[in-house]
Structure 1
């Protein structure tokens, strides 16, 4: 096989494998990484590097592999934008955790978030307790968005804070 075509095919195979693996093992950790996640990503990148370029360790081989990864990512993003089924395969839907001050225990259990973690997220948004939460949603990126209502002015407030410690969840 042509060495350049070999790098292209290998890179595409590794890219597709990584997309599926991230989907299966939880992707929400990728927006903010802890030390274990960084180590895992470094080890995975080292493990798949040879699988992508094979015997071609030249600058050309590395650049071709990188170009293929960028192109594959661009195509996947376009497919997600144009095809709802493909998007729902790669990304989970947001999960409602609190509605009108009532915690959805089943949803918390499903996404593996404890009540204490939920309370912490609510406090991070500056809301005093679940009774003042109109809506709390676990977004597809692992962040929790909170819509609250000010008791005095009856004005609805929305806030979204990037969580330091995201929780993985599988469906």
Structure 2
């Protein structure tokens, strides 16, 4: 088989296999990225690219590599739901960046977030005055959550690093 024909055949079959394996593995595999998800996604892309461009890698090797990576991802996420230690290993903790209109400068420095990014997150949620913002949280996937009104117990801030009194 010519290298071009190999790329076409293996490319189509690898792509279809990847879609099937991802569908079988569930929604968690395609969730918003944290560092762990990023690594899995890059690994899958690398396997697909190698299977498309290398005539030395067989379709069976590519499929096996897909299955191994997805299986490892499944085992790690399955275990993380049942073990705090594993969860802490693969997921960071959300971090409070602004609380009751006051910036949490130490947290912002540690997370490498500048004031302009916090303000942009507030504007995106339609906040006109930073004093109206109860909290801004940097989530585990790098997104900003903006909480406009305080509740009596701040229950949405449970598990967030830096919340006063916790």
TM-score range, shorter chain: 0.5 to 0.7
Cross-structure match for 1:45: 46
- Alignment of 1:27 with 2:35, yes or no, is yes
1:144 aligns with 2:144: yes
Unpaired runs of 5+ residues, structure 1, are: 1-25, 31-37, 155-171
Q: Which ranges in structure 2 are unaligned for 5 or more consecutive residues?
A: 1-33, 152-166
Whole-Å separation in 1 of the counterparts to 2:114 and 2:36:
16
Q: Relative contact order: is structure 1 or structure 2 higher (C-alpha 8 Å, sep ≥ 6)?
A: 1
Q: Distance in 2 between matches of 1:114 and 1:29?
A: 25
Quick check: which one's helix share is greater?
2
Q: Which residue of 2 aligns with 1:96?
A: 96
- How far apart, CA to CA, are the structure 1 residues paired with 2:127 and 2:100? 13
Work out the number of aligned pairs and report it.
113
- Runs (4 or more) in structure 1 with deviation over 6 Å come to none
Following superposition, the deviation at residue 61 of structure 1 comes to 1.3
Q: Using a 3 Å threshold, how does the CA distance of structure 1 residues 108 and 85 change in structure 2: closer, same or farther?
A: same
- Helix, strand or coil: the match of 2:88? helix
Q: Deviation per CA, 1:72-98: give whole Å up to 9, x if none.
A: 111011111111111111111000011
Normalising by structure 1, what TM-score?
Answer: 0.56
TM-score normalized with structure 2 length: 0.58
> How large is the RMSD of aligned CA atoms in angstroms?
3.3
1:121-146 residue CA offsets vs partner (Å, 9 max, x unmatched): 11011111320111111010111111
